[in-house]
Structure 1
Amino acid sequence: MSATASIWLFVVPFAIAAAIPGPAQGALLGQVVSRGARSTIPFIGGMVLGNAAWLVVATLGLAALALQFEHVFIAVKWLGVAFILFIAWSLWCKSTEQPQAPPKRSVGRGLLAGAVLTLSNPKAVVFFGAVLPHAFDLTALSWPEVLFITALGIGIDLTIQLAYLVTASRIKCALQSPKAMKRLNRTSAGVMTGCAGWMAVSH
């Protein structure tokens, strides 16, 4: 198989999987609505880094080993569920009668929140563990090739999540009245609660 064909066998499934809305995108929407687009960028950075960590684990052939730490996955998963529910509750209760400055949060906390959310989903390492062997010979990868695959994955993931960011930001900007903002907040809260439920019952 040519190098180009191998790359496409990785790029296409990964891009499709990253573009499908899920709990991470629900949380991203909530972040944009509650904090604004600029304050959501570190959160996206954490999401992308979390997925990159799973990609490296799978590229090094450690996917099966990582999945043995089930108790760690369970603990991190419930942290992610609690985080999404907290954002949903904050949005539901947020007043829209008077403009409010977005709550401040450090870049580090934003990165950590995004990373916890994606690291709490072991399905990512399962996906990478299933896709990568079809695209590459994992037993023969050099470190430059591992770095290239990781950088490629980061680029794809970041591009797609930034597209979600722009879309969510435009929706928020298009709604100016307090009634419309309240409806958006509560709709976002409902979406996020559904995402948290999905995470809670998924295995």
Structure 2
Amino acid sequence: MTQIDRALIEKITEEVKRQIQKYETGIPVGVSNRHIHLSQQDLYRLFGDGYQLTKYKDLSQPGQFAAKETVTIIGPKGSFERVRILGPVREDTQIEISVSDGFKLGIIPIVKESGDIDGTPGVIIEGPKGKVQKDQGVIAALRHIHMPVDYAREHGFNNGDMVTVLTEGIRKTAFYNVLIRVSDKYNLEMHIDMDEANSSGLKNGDRVKIVKK
């Protein structure tokens, strides 16, 4: 092994240690308000042929962004206006709400992992150029942790693991059944919805710890 090889290995090792140490104080929390992911086809139906989303701001996960565009979602009993679209477009349209949001809409969202919309309720989506009736697609997202590959390997986690997470503070809470999602495209962050955040007193940037696998 040459001196250059050793120097490179040491540099990589120090960078990995630095990234790990950054999270020793806990896993940062991201609180998700109601939002929608649109398919390309539904985007065109709602905003016009050839329409492209306009980036409002980047989100914590690489490549994900909040768009300037919003839509109205309409249920049997009520509606929500100005529901933020998150980009980029997806293969299937997915609406993520909290359980309490479902009360106003008049539907019962099923707690599911993002991307699994089979058997879920639907809503009407209204945009500036049209409406779309969705027969499925509304979920209450299963709480989960986005975890980088290096962090997962260092701490012994695998994609699909279910863990228990503990919060601190006056409303100290244990979250059971938290899904681990591992990818080299992720930044470390736990995602919960507004109901979960309000019940535990959590806000964006707070830290939590995994206490049981």
TM range (shorter): under 0.3
TM-score by length of 2: 0.26
Higher relative helix content? 1
TM-score by length of 1: 0.27
Which of structures 1 and 2 has the bigger CA Rg?
2
Question: Which of structures 1 and 2 has the larger relative contact order (alpha carbons within 8 angstroms, sep 6+)?
Answer: 1
